[in-house]
Amino acid sequence: MPNTLVDAYREAQPGKQTLSHFIETLGAIAGHSKAGDLTAVLDGLFEKLSANRFNLAVLGQMKRGKSSFVNALLGTEILPTGILPLTSVITRVKYGPSPTALIRFKSGNVEPIELRALPQYITEAANPGNRKQVAAAEVTYPSQFLGMGIDLIDTPGIGSTHLHNTSTTEDYLSEVDAGIVVLSVDPPITEVESEFLKKIRRDVPRLLFVINKIDLVLPREAASVARFLEGELKNRIGVDDPELFPLSARLALEERTHQHNGSAGKSGMEGLSERLRHFASEEKEQVLFQSVALDVLRTAGTLRFAASVGERARALNGEELESKKRALEAALVKSDREMKDLRHLLRQDVAAIVTRIENDLKEHVESADPVVRRHLDEFEKAHPNETRDQLGALLDKFIFGEVECVFVDWRVQEDERIRAEVAELSKRFVERTNQVLEHLQDTAGALFDVPISHVDFRSSLTVESRLYYYTDHVFQYQLDKLIFILPRFLLRRVVFGRMRSYIRMELDRNAGRLRYDYLERLKKSVSAFEKELESAVAIVVDNLRFVLNPKEGNASSMTSAIAQLDLVIAGCRSIIEERGRTLQRTAAGAQPGAGPETWN
């Protein structure tokens, strides 16, 4: 076993170099076949391997103490905690030489902030419904644990009354490499948590389970809760051999900040700390390599299948070969036609979503217009004595505030609805793309008597917004400013009459901007998704056409490619099996040590 985290990192490099070599080998073969789509896939795998970052997410229901747990793990109060549900956006904590914080907005803008200002952007109280349109928060901290390429991700609590919090966490699952699920003794597990765990155990490669707040119960009660949870996770959720760590994040933070000497050793944090030390030094690299090796294996399998078809074709001659080539070309043409049909249907479905959004916006503006007018009546009564300049400034502020109020909450609900529709759309079209791939491979395999290795395409359609609300100054033009020269008894009547006609115009204009925003981001996302769908099929189609074209290949190069692919496939399988055995040994050997590992 490596003595230090740095030793473990160095020992992992040979495996990384082997996978890099495999990717380069596939890239060379893809270059010969002129398969541009496959080259792009391989570039993505190489980038993933080179980045070597690992997302360790802290997951769980609201008020289980996730943010408190992250603070305890790092030994300092970085993230806000409290009685009310707090975290409303994804917060990434990664290594840095000094504590810093920055906010990434959905507009694409980035704003460095003071660490103490973090609650103003990531809490539900200061940023309700994520009205500030924060995409994510990033915090850096000089922790040895984080320095090993592990980013800790604090996620919004599931099961919150704020539905967008659950959606934010579920949307992020595809980015998670491993997770720490924070449960607690009060109560041990809820129906919401059970359903959430059933979902994420399929999406997240490795899970550890924390039972927080054990300081609230007696030791024998904590042991009883642990036994109960172990049974629930095994029998109801389907988690094999769940790893459970009873602890108190509150006491752990006191221990690490030396605020309570009497609590030393009572938090239970030492068991999890030792487990995470093992994870950082051994498992993190293993899980990453296993993931990349699986992708490389799938890609090599695609190339091997096409090469085998080509090799088998070269053993045939005359009419039999031409007949099989015509049959395969017909299947290839059919797959092209089916993908065009799919693209057309996808655009139709997206157009239907846009039409629904337009109707929703129209209905929303219709219902909001009288409400804003009523608010203007109340505003007029509440401001009888302002000067002309004061009244103009207040009216500008009023109309902007009303526009924002009308659309912000509606937008949160609409985004959730669109997210659900897009997720269903994505699933449906990925399934249909895989059906096209499966039929194509079955046809080629049957024609040339080649064992079939199906390649499943995986992707998702997502959308992001970059919209800001906008209103003109109500009295920005000189002609409008002349209104304020009117006698006082006429001024208010004319000004508020102008405002009443202005309300619907501003609501319609911002509704139009919302429609345009939804349309543009859907078009952009669908375009990228279409490209991924087409690329998945093109990789198989291009390679099959290449191997059947005698002008672009010969028997010796095909035999050489197959030999290289066999080495890559055998090597990837070896890596996957060895990493799997290593992970099992590491998990079995990761027992609580003599004391907590100090990372801060």
pLDDT of residue 132: 84
Looking at the structure, tell me whether residues 236 and 368 fall in a common domain. no
Closest CA to 55 of 135, 143, 145, 153: 153
Condensed to tens digits (0 to 9), the pLDDT of residues 362-382 reads 999 999 999 999 999 999 889
Looking at the structure, tell me whether residues 341 and 275 fall in a common domain. no
Cα distance between residue 100 and residue 222, in whole Å:
37
Condensed to tens digits (0 to 9), the pLDDT of residues 327-353 reads 988 998 999 899 899 999 999 998 999
* Banded pLDDT at 11 (limits 50, 70, 90): very low
Condensed to tens digits (0 to 9), the pLDDT of residues 170-187 reads 555 656 778 899 998 877
Looking at the structure, tell me whether residues 357 and 438 fall in a common domain. yes
Contact, 118 vs 101, CB < 8 A? yes
Q: Residue 397 belongs to a domain with what CATH number?
A: 1.20.120
Looking at the structure, tell me whether residues 272 and 416 fall in a common domain. no
Residue 429 maps to a domain = yes
Looking at the structure, tell me whether residues 26 and 57 fall in a common domain. yes
Looking at the structure, tell me whether residues 338 and 264 fall in a common domain. no
Residue 540 maps to a domain = yes
Judged against a pLDDT cut of 70, whether residue 10 lies above it is answered with no
Looking at the structure, tell me whether residues 14 and 116 fall in a common domain. yes
Condensed to tens digits (0 to 9), the pLDDT of residues 80-89 reads 775 444 446 7
| Number of other residues whose CB lies within 10 A of the CB of residue 496 | 15
Residue 313 maps to a domain = no
Residue 562 maps to a domain = no
Largest CA distance in the chain: 100
Looking at the structure, tell me whether residues 542 and 447 fall in a common domain. yes
Residue 146 maps to a domain = yes
Q: Where are the beta strands (DSSP E) in 173-320?
A: 178-184, 207-212, 244-246
Backbone angles phi, psi at 436, to 5 degrees: -65, -45
pLDDT of residue 337: 92
* Banded pLDDT at 8 (limits 50, 70, 90): very low
Q: Parallel, antiparallel, or unpaired for β 150-154 and 54-59?
A: parallel
Q: Residue 153 belongs to a domain with what CATH number?
A: 3.40.50.300
The structure's pTM equals 0.56
Looking at the structure, tell me whether residues 535 and 453 fall in a common domain. yes
Residue 314 maps to a domain = no
CA distances from 269 to 48, 355, 595 (A): 32, 53, 9
Burial of 517 (0-12, 13-18, 19+ CB in 10 A): middle
CA distances from 571 to 13, 500, 579 (A): 16, 73, 12
pLDDT of residue 374: 93
Cα distance between residue 158 and residue 60, in whole Å:
6
Burial of 218 (0-12, 13-18, 19+ CB in 10 A): exposed
* Banded pLDDT at 72 (limits 50, 70, 90): confident
Looking at the structure, tell me whether residues 169 and 63 fall in a common domain. yes
pLDDT of residue 483: 56
Condensed to tens digits (0 to 9), the pLDDT of residues 395-451 reads 888 888 888 888 877 887 887 788 788 888 888 888 898 888 889 889 988 998 888
Condensed to tens digits (0 to 9), the pLDDT of residues 193-212 reads 888 888 777 667 678 999 99
Q: Which residue has the higher pLDDT, 248 or 544?
A: 248
What is the domain range of residue 268?
5-297+576-589
Q: Give me the DSSP letters along 25-48.
A: HHHHHHHHTT-HHHHHHHHHHHHH
Mean pLDDT rounded to a whole number for the chain: 78
Q: How many folded domains does the chain comprise?
A: 2
Looking at the structure, tell me whether residues 253 and 381 fall in a common domain. no
Residue 311 maps to a domain = no
pLDDT of residue 481: 53
pLDDT of residue 105: 86
Looking at the structure, tell me whether residues 255 and 379 fall in a common domain. no
Count how many residues are written for the chain.
Answer: 600
The residue-averaged pLDDT of 311-326 equals: 85
Distance of CA 483 to the CA centre of its chain: 53
Judged against a pLDDT cut of 70, whether residue 21 lies above it is answered with yes
Residue 248 maps to a domain = yes
How many helices (DSSP H) and strands (DSSP E) are in the chain? 15, 9
